[in-house]
A and B are shown apart, each in its own frame.
Chain A
Amino acid sequence: MSQVATMHPGVEPAESPLTPESWGKLGMWIFLVGDAMGFGTLLAGYGAMRYGSADWPNPYSHLGISLTAFMTFLLICSSVTMVKALEAIKLERPRNVKLFLGLTILGGATFLGLQAFEWTKLITEGLKIYGNPWGASLFGTTFFIITGFHGAHVTGGVIYLSTILAVVGRSHNTARNYMLTEVAGLYWHFVDLVWIMVFTFVYLL
């Protein structure tokens, strides 16, 4: 039986055959697979609308690549700090755990701030959810829905990681801290992975 199950036999009486570490990890994977289908559907719908339109604006001419490339870099950095936090738990360095989790949260919060700045700038330039000055009205609709759905995930991730930081920061149970942070990390890396696809399909293609 896994260490977590040994310590909390009433909570996790049996091993998950796929993720012996914890049932929580399997639960998160199943959630992420479902969530990936949601994003996949949005991106496939975006593709269908785009290729069915003859006046779709050139995204990178209007959306601005430099800022979003920096936002991509920021999320990649936050993924690195997330795995570093997990590594610090394994090495039993609580100060580093707090530092790296804090940096991950800061990365996510900065991403949200930059997204708010980007949205404000584009709305000022005329991009609305129902239309825009450059071509097909669905350009704005798909942009706001896809980036907004992702932004909601980042917001959820920042709240989730802040909760994990509060819990892990007070607990000295290494096995439990590792399990909680690993499951939260899966969610955070997924948010990064989805942004990689959104950046390519919505901004670059």
Chain B
Amino acid sequence: MAATHAGPSYMTIFWWLFVLTIIEVGVIFTPIAKLVIAILLISLAVSKASLVAMYFMHLRFERLTLGLIAITPLFLGTLLVFLLVPDHSAVPHKTADSVKVAPAAGPR
């Protein structure tokens, strides 16, 4: 069985996750530049995901090699984003063949 881990209690992590979620929802209604909002939201999401992985999944108390294996998708995901940059930089277009679906008629 795993040894007892020293570190913040699970309830402390819960309250951090709760507060960060409230901040996330608050950020989208803040009158600041969209880029700043995006950077803030991504930073908050990465912080929350790290808290879950480090404390709830006990990654902080595992061997370094396992930690490196666990963060591999983050590097590969980032690489994938850069591979898709040519698509991002393409001229934004309206989807001409978009299927516009009329909202369903409400009760009369």
On A, residues with C-beta under 8 Å from B are 3, 18-19, 21, 26, 29-30, 32-33, 36-37, 40-41, 43-45, 47-48, 51-55, 60, 65, 69, 72-73, 76-77, 79-80, 82-84, 87, 90, 124-128, 130-133, 135-138, 174-175, 178-179, 182, 185-186, 189-190, 192-193, 196-197, 199-201, 204-205
Question: Beyond A40-B73, A43-B77, is A131–B100 a contact (Cβ under 8 Å)?
Answer: yes
Question: Beyond A37-B76, A73-B21, is A137–B56 a contact (Cβ under 8 Å)?
Answer: no
Write 26 A-B pairs (CB below 8 A) sorted by A numbering: A18-B62, A18-B69, A19-B62, A40-B74, A44-B77, A45-B84, A47-B81, A47-B84, A47-B88, A51-B87, A54-B94, A79-B14, A80-B10, A83-B56, A126-B103, A126-B104, A128-B101, A137-B95, A137-B100, A193-B53, A196-B49, A197-B49, A199-B45, A200-B44, A204-B41, A205-B37
Q: Of all chain B residues, which has the CB nearest A49?
A: B87
Which of the listed residues B90, B97, B101 has the most CB atoms from chain A within 10 Å of its own CB? B101
Chain B interface category by residue count? 35 or more
Question: Beyond A19-B66, A200-B42, is A178–B53 a contact (Cβ under 8 Å)?
Answer: no
Once the chains bind, are A204 and B24 in contact (CB under 8 Å)? yes
Contacts of B77 in A (CB 8 A): 36-37, 40-41, 43-44
Which residues of chain B from 8 to 67 have any CB-CB distance to chain A below 8 Å in the complex?
A: 10-11, 13-14, 17-18, 21, 24-25, 27-28, 37-38, 41-42, 44-45, 48-49, 52-53, 56-57, 62-63, 65-66
